[in-house]
Amino acid sequence: MRTFLLDDGFLPSSIDLPEETREKVVTQLRLFARSHRDRDFRALRVEGSRRILSLPVDDTYRIVMRRENGDVTLLFIADNNSSSTLVASERKTSPSLSVAAPLDALETLLVEEKYLLLAKHLLSIPVATKDLEFRIPEIEKIIRAHLPPEARRFHNWWANQKSGKRAQAFAWMAAGWLVSKVDFNSGLVKFVRQNLKVEAAG
């Protein structure tokens, strides 16, 4: 298993963790992916549930995930002292809103931090806001780096991808947003919340 599904609570719960903790999260997920059928592995069932697992990250944090129909959904990072794990983890996730999270994409986002600042900014937008508009230089200011030349020329660079193969798309989709329109003449990029049906930028 190399790909997880992301619940909308995973990124918000992990994005502000210290860099070394985020690295440990990815390391533990890699170990779990290789050993998820091993009964001796440290992922434990949460008491009261057959589907919810708790995977220790370190002495302070753990990854809470749900295993169902062969898929593993990353729900959130919890403090080891948190007692609300089961209640929060039993909440259903809509399959249409799930984002595929290959381990390499998670590592790029959480460890290499490419586009992490964009995801963090999008997560900070009030829930009532359903759409956003940025000029490309504004996005560069958010990420504190220049976008590649392709971002100013090709619509495909802004395509929404559930596969996690493009770091930039993984960042905005994991944060709950989709690109709805790109206008290169004006340099505008429009985003909508993921629960609104938009399949590709154009």
pLDDT in tens, 176-196: 999 999 999 999 999 999 864
CATH number of 3-110: 3.30.2310.20
What ranges do the domains of the chain cover? 3-110, 116-193
Tens-place pLDDT, residues 112-132: 888 999 999 999 999 999 999
Confidence of residue 40 (pLDDT cuts 50, 70, 90): very low
- pLDDT surpassing 60 at residue 96: no
Confidence of residue 91 (pLDDT cuts 50, 70, 90): low
Tens-place pLDDT, residues 134-144: 999 999 999 99
What secondary structure does DSSP assign to the chain, as a single string? --EEEE-TTHHHHHTTS-HHHHHHHHHHHHHHHHHTT-TTSS-EEPTT-SSEEEEE-SSSEEEEEEEETTEEEEEEEEETT-S-HHHHHTS---GGG-EEEEHHHHHHHHTS-TTHHHHHHHHTS-TT--EEEEEHHHHHHHHTSPPPGGGGT-GGGG---TT--SHHHHHHHHTTEEEEEEETTTTEEEEEETTS------
Confidence of residue 93 (pLDDT cuts 50, 70, 90): low
